Amino acid sequence: MTTPKGIVGVFDRAAETYDDVGVPWFRPIASGLVEELAVRLGERVLDVGCGRGALLAPLASAVGLTGRVLGIDLAPRMVNRTAEDFLDLPQVEVRIADAAAPGLPVSSFDVVASSLVLFFLPDPAAAIRSWTDLLVSGGRMGVTTFGPQDERWREIDAVFTPYLPKEMLDARTSGSRGPFASDEGVEGPLREGGLIEVRTAHRVVEAVFRDAEHLVEFSWSHGQRAMWEAVPRREHPALRQRMVELARGFGNESGRFSFTQPVRHTLGAAA
């Protein structure tokens, strides 16, 4: 297999620490989505862009041993590690597949869930259309994306801005501009993708950091790694220092601080 490129390559290189640096982030967001989708015992669920399994764990509990959960992702290291983690849960399977073209049988799932993936796909509406085909009539789909960023998070991101190529300034993931900046913007691809009863539910998660260094560690462990990788290596120590100084200003006397992140859960059903 060739080494994955672009954003999938970034996640492949992040796989070792992804969702494993002690910041409550992907798992609370994923659990919220499973609740919003009201996943039931015995259901067949597809998790698109499963990463390290933030959604797979609550989905496995919700469907129980009579259900089935399939996680797909294009980053081989994510898939290998996650498949190993879930070996003891027979209702869970993890495999490599492209979110844009999963290549699965039509009408074979009751639920399609995807947490923090849609904004990475070049044609979100086309992807949703292909996922809609996988749902049985009346099946449910839910995706999460980010609402507006905490102002302090924006300040941290701005440290990277001078180094970033134009295409990385697009901000689709930060919820501040473009199609992912409003409820209607995210609902659009679900409607275009053929879903009905499309609506948005809002939740808030709090990312808690022990101290400024913990934020730096976290920044390497997820999509923000792409920003680090866009910065010349010789500049890393100075950039790290700027980030730490900024984040120290957020902390209490022990250095601890948290960012508040609104999360959009965009939900729909297959006709």
Interface residues with ligand SAM (CB under 6 A)? 7-8, 11, 19, 26, 30, 49-51, 54-55, 73-75, 78, 98-100, 115-117, 120-121, 223
CB 230 → ligand SAM: shortest distance, Å? 17
Of 211 and 227, CB closest to ligand SAM: 227
CB 54 → ligand SAM: shortest distance, Å? 4
Q: What is the token pair recorded at 177? A: 């501009």
CB 7 → ligand SAM: shortest distance, Å? 6
**Nearest residue to ligand SAM on Cβ basis:** 51
For residues 229 and 100, the answer to whether their CB atoms sit within 8 Å is: no
How far apart are the C-alpha atoms of 52 and 268, rounded to whole Å? 25
Of 118 and 195, CB closest to ligand SAM: 118
**β-bridge pairing 257-270 and 135-146:** antiparallel
Which helix (H) or strand (E) segment is 68 a member of? Answer: strand 68-73
Give the CB-side neighbour count of residue 115, counting CA atoms within 13 A: 26
CB 182 → ligand SAM: shortest distance, Å? 20
Of 117 and 156, CB closest to ligand SAM: 117
CB 255 → ligand SAM: shortest distance, Å? 26
CB 39 → ligand SAM: shortest distance, Å? 15
Can you tell me whether residue 121 is helix, strand or coil?
coil
How far apart are the C-alpha atoms of 25 and 144, rounded to whole Å? 12
CB 216 → ligand SAM: shortest distance, Å? 18
Of 32 and 185, CB closest to ligand SAM: 32
Q: In this structure, what are the phi and psi dihedrals at residue 208, rounded to the nearest 5 degrees?
A: -105, 130
For residues 268 and 37, the answer to whether their CB atoms sit within 8 Å is: no
Of 48 and 135, CB closest to ligand SAM: 48
Burial of 237 (C-beta count, 10 Å sphere; 0-12/13-18/19+): exposed
Which helix (H) or strand (E) segment is 160 a member of? Answer: helix 151-160
Of 125 and 244, CB closest to ligand SAM: 125
235's CB contacts (< 8 A; 6+ apart) are 163
**β-bridge pairing 109-115 and 135-146:** parallel
Of 117 and 243, CB closest to ligand SAM: 117
**Partner residues linked to 146 by β-bridges:** 263
